[in-house]
Structure 1
Amino acid sequence: MKTLKFVLCALAISAGTLLHAAPEKSTETSVAFNKEIQQLLKNIDLEVSEDVEAYLIVRFNCKNEMEVLYVGSKNAEARKKIKKCLNNKEIKTVLDPSVENYKLPIRLKA
């Protein structure tokens, strides 16, 4: 029983250390990136009767163009329009090159 407590305590300490050492997201970058996505989606041609929530997974190529990998939404038309609107669009915000894929929540208001 003592060894079990010792192992659990060691795991808790190491997990806490790992979480504390994890790099924090830069709020300035995420805010600027979110503003660019909002501007790109501002003139989307989509009529919805209620708010649409979606999750977007993108990556960036060497030209800083978005490659839309996945759009998760219950609304099929919204998925198609979001992907068409954002795919291969160049962004000006400089993001962390070590991150391969970005996951973004999107809400389109009715």
Structure 2
Amino acid sequence: MKILKLVVFALAISAGSLLHAAPGNSPETSASFKKEIHDLLKNIELDIEEEVVANLVVSFNENNEMQVLYVGTTHTPAGKLIKQHLNHKKIKTVLDPSIKKYKLPIRLKP
């Protein structure tokens, strides 16, 4: 009986952490925010042979300047270039100030 309680408790903890980590409908993927990021990256000069996917995590300071916290990609030069093009850029989109970090997937095509 003790083992059964332990297994049920472990399953409850696992399910709770999975639900917490699951992406939901959030403002960080709003259309205007995506369009501004697209506009900032459309003139990026990068010689790639195949599509590069990066996961971008940014925050904003009081002047509405973007601070790139993380660019997750296996293509290191692309990650550095994305960070250079986006870091400290101002955006016009009004975002929810209660959200500290925004997550956005980026796809660069050859």
Amino acid at match of 1:50: E
Q: How far is the alpha carbon of 1:105 from its aligned partner?
A: 0.3
Provide the residue aligned with 2:71 in structure 1.
71
1:97 aligns with 2:94: no
Structure exhibiting the larger radius of gyration computed from Cα positions: 1
Provide the residue aligned with 1:53 in structure 2.
53
**Identical pairs, percent:** 56
Q: How far is the alpha carbon of 1:40 from its aligned partner?
A: 0.1
Provide the residue aligned with 1:44 in structure 2.
44
Change (3 A) 1:26 1:54: closer
CA distance in 2, matches of 1:59, 1:47: 28
Matched residue of 2:32: which SS? helix
Change (3 A) 1:26 1:69: closer
**Aligned structure 1 segments of 4 or more residues deviating by more than 4 angstroms:** none
TM-score, structure 1 as length reference: 0.76
Q: How far is the alpha carbon of 1:26 from its aligned partner?
A: 4.9
TM-score, structure 2 as length reference: 0.76
Residues 31-68 of structure 1, C-alpha deviations (whole Å, 9 max, x = no match): 00000000000001111100000000000000000000
Provide the residue aligned with 1:84 in structure 2.
84
Q: In 1, are the aligned partners of 2:27 and 2:96 still within 8 Å (CA)?
A: no
Point out where structure 1 has 5 or more consecutive residues left out of the alignment.
Answer: 5-10, 16-22
Matched residue of 1:34: which SS? helix
Point out where structure 2 has 5 or more consecutive residues left out of the alignment.
Answer: 6-11, 17-23
Give the alignment's Cα RMSD to 1 decimal. 2.3
